Amino acid sequence: MKNDKNLKNWLTDFQLDHPLVIAGPCSAETEEQVLKIARELKDSDVSIFRAGIWKPRTRPGGFEGVGAIGLKWLQKAKAETGLLMAVEVANAAHVKLALEHDIDVLWIGARTTVNPFAVQEIADALEGTDKIVLLKNPVNPDLSLWIGGLERLYNANIKKLGVIHRGFSTYEKTKYRNNPEWQIAIDMQNKFPDLPLICDPSHITGKRDMIQEVSQQALDLNYDGLIIETHIDPDNAWSDAAQQVTPSVLKQIFHDLRVRKETDEADDYTMRMNKLRTQIDEFDSKILEILGGRMKIANQIGALKKEKNVAILQNKRWQEILDKMISEGSQKGLSEDFIVQLFKAIHQESIDHQEKIINS
């Protein structure tokens, strides 16, 4: 699949002078809840109302969605407010029911995108549709799996396509529920510049007080839209309570967001610079992560030296490391001076770590 200029047509058809906004609860809970939220989102920047009907839960026993009955509530909400309706579909049966109930937008969830069989089944069920289909990134940070899903949909002649960046699972603790790994979404955007890219700050952050910040980051990176979980009573939501905001908080978030014009020369500069800075920030975090890992090994070396009563400083070994790194560094365009300075600092830190262990 190549970039296709027509990919963005469905988005331009909205004729918005701001990014596309999709909002609504994580899950449809009751008819009353759906209607109340939809009414509050009418006459705002929101164009599409979202609600999960079938909920993929990590563990059984949680609320797994109200099922097909919820589609009727969405039809009512649409008739009353004029908002387009979006639901998550995870198999052909979901697609069939969603189409029968005239749902306008179908999104494929992160747990489904990881499974090529499921995405293919959905693509086949949607073959040639004129509905809008949005593909969330897979749970794991794998750009080709995400692109693969997109290709399955594109090959099924689905023309109104977009992708949603909702962050990625990691085993490490971070401040996010799902690590954004902005670089992956930027790579997607560079490969398909005309493919609408939507950020899901709710699932990235998992916390309502971080939604503003991540939404702004997405707009600074020239995303086309945002999908934000919105509930009339977030604390008592049946799923994802911590990350949902009220309709009035959502309106405040939009009021405070700085939306950049695409055409301005200065904006082009800012946008490109932001992309580059995001990449630098990610590299810097990785450097620290690697250094932290290296020092953990140094601690183990310290413990072994203590056990065997061996001296910390092993000059021969240190010279060998330095020579090897100078030669590898020069192949990567890094100067000898820089490598010497860098590795002296790393070596010193490593000695300090070992010193602590030996003297403990």
Task: Give the residues lining the site for ligand PEP (CB under 6 A).
Answer: 26, 52, 56, 109-111, 136, 166, 203
Q: What is the amino acid identity at position 266?
A: A
DSSP summary character for residue 335: -
Residue nearest to Mn ion (CB): 26
Nearest distance from residue 179's CB to ligand PEP, in Å? 13
- 103 contact, one of Mn ion, ligand PEP, none, CB 5-8 Å limit per kind: none
Angle subtended by helix axes 265-308 and 211-220, to nearest 10: 120
Task: CB nearer to ligand PEP: give 26 or 84.
Answer: 26
CB of 59 to ligand PEP, least distance (A): 14
Find, among 158, 103, 100, 106, the residue nearest to 134 by Cα: 106
User: 243 or 354: whose CB is closer to Mn ion?
Assistant: 243
The site for Mn ion (CB under 5 A) is made up of: 26, 240
What is the secondary structure of 38-90 as a DSSP string? HHHHTTSS--EEE-BSS---SSTTS-----THHHHHHHHHHHHH--EEEEE--
Q: How far is the CB of 10 from ligand PEP (least distance, A)?
A: 20
Which is nearer to Mn ion, 26 or 53 (by Cβ)? 26
Tokens describing residue 91: 């198999």
Minimum CB separation from ligand PEP for residue 52, in Å?
5
Which two three-digit tokens encode residue 154?
A: 């594109």
Q: Which does 136 bind (CB under 5 to 8 A by kind): Mn ion, ligand PEP, none?
A: ligand PEP
Q: Which does 166 bind (CB under 5 to 8 A by kind): ligand PEP, Mn ion, none?
A: ligand PEP
The residue among 147 and 228 lying less far from ligand PEP, judged by its C-beta, is: 228
Q: Report in angstroms how near the CB of residue 151 gets to ligand PEP at its nearest.
A: 19
Whether 23 and 250 have beta carbons less than 8 Å apart is answered as: yes
- In the bound complex, what is the minimum distance in angstroms from residue 11's beta carbon to ligand PEP? 19
* Phi–psi pair at 223, nearest 5 degrees: -65, 160
CB of 287 to Mn ion, least distance (A): 33
Q: How far is the CB of 291 from ligand PEP (least distance, A)?
A: 32
Using the structure block, give the residue that is written with the tokens 């009414």.
39
The burial of 130, by beta-carbon neighbours within 10 Å (0-12 exposed, 13-18 middle, 19 or more buried), is given as exposed
109 binds, among Mn ion, ligand PEP, none (CB under 5 to 8 A by kind): ligand PEP
Nearer to ligand PEP, 19 or 52 (CB): 52
Smaller CB separation from Mn ion, 20 or 228: 228
Going by the DSSP 8-state scheme, the letter that residue 137 receives in this structure is: P
Among ligand PEP, Mn ion, none, residue 110 binds (CB under 5-8 Å by kind): ligand PEP
Q: How far, rounded to the nearest angstrom, does the alpha carbon of residue 281 sit from its chain's CA centroid? A: 17
Residue number, 234 or 302, with CB nearest to Mn ion: 234
Q: Which residue is nearest to ligand PEP (CB)?
A: 109
Cβ proximity to Mn ion, 52 vs 302, nearer residue: 52
Run of H or E residues at 321: helix 315-331
Helix/strand/coil (H/E/C) assignment for every residue in 140-195 = CCCHHHHHHHHHHHHHCCCCCEEEEECCECCCCCCCCCCECCHHHHHHHHHHCCCC
